[in-house]
Structure 1
Amino acid sequence: MLGAVVGAISTFLAGRFNLLQSMSAWRSGGFNSIVEGFYEPLWAVVVISIIAWIAADRFTVAGLGEETATNLGLNYRAVVLFGTVLVALATGITSVVVGFIPFLGLIVPNLVSMLLGDDLRRNLPWVALTGTVLLLVCDLIGRTVIAPMEIPASVILGVVGACVFIAIVVRNRARVSA
């Protein structure tokens, strides 16, 4: 709901300042607009990822729930706030540079956790590598399917991500029912 409100305000402002075309290009995530001098903010995401990896044990404990984390001596609210700030910064920077990439942050961590367990410190490099490979494969498919035209990587990833997400939900529901 909040996303719809923010999107409506953004669209209104873009219309007032004749930026609707730029906004629609920004909303479709991909690498076709990335040029030298424009991708450098992504280095901040690398720094944020390193900070998240250092704090990964605290995030894993916080994932056990507020009561358990507090009993183990962790300031649950501070850790959750810190994690939320890191995710918001990384997502915001990535969205500004690359555009919106649907399902990537939803399916990749879940797939890695299904394969490797819930140890965030061990999983984080695998999540980064798997997400990178998946996004690059979607970008390559988008560039070759209707060459010389191009489908944004976000469209391809949206289709793939929706299928994988539905498969994860159905698999988990079948496992719970059994």
Structure 2
Amino acid sequence: MRDFINRLLNILPALRRPKPQEVKASDPVAITMGSEGLAVLKHYEGCKLTAYRDSVGVWTIGYGHTGPEVRAGLVWTQQQAEDALRDRLAREFVPGVLKVIKRSMRQCELDAMVDLAYNIGVGAFHGSTLVRLVNAGDTVGAADEFLRWVNAGGKPLLGLRRRRTADRALFLGATAQEAIKTGSAVT
């Protein structure tokens, strides 16, 4: 009987089904940023179709797209901006988050972490305390870590304080509209 119970206990975790709107980093299906997270990202990135220098002097276009092809005088269509965002999310940022998160997560948690990684870079995200806390199951501690990522060029920026507050709210389950409203309240 003891042997039977031990075998049963060993297979029960494998039978666990993800909760609705929960994703598993190991799922073979295509995982992507959800519409709520995309709305927050687009709100805070904004979309500029002519290349410009961001707050730290990096050439940027579209929804915060950077790279060696972005230079003075570059102009995109709205479709190019949408395509570049979708491509970078699918190729770089969603896989970058999934690579280091070792537990199941809700879609809102994934969305907030992808927005953070999109803004700070995958490398910085990988080395963050936020990742360690998420993997340890400390949701509140991980949520509070968003608020630490508010500097650009070594200085805190109001726009980043607002964005991180919105990311934190999204991570904890707020809708995009609620998260943006919460972020906008930061002064």
Q: TM-score, normalised by structure 1?
A: 0.34
Higher relative contact order (CA 8 A, sep 6+): 1
Q: TM-score, normalised by structure 2?
A: 0.32
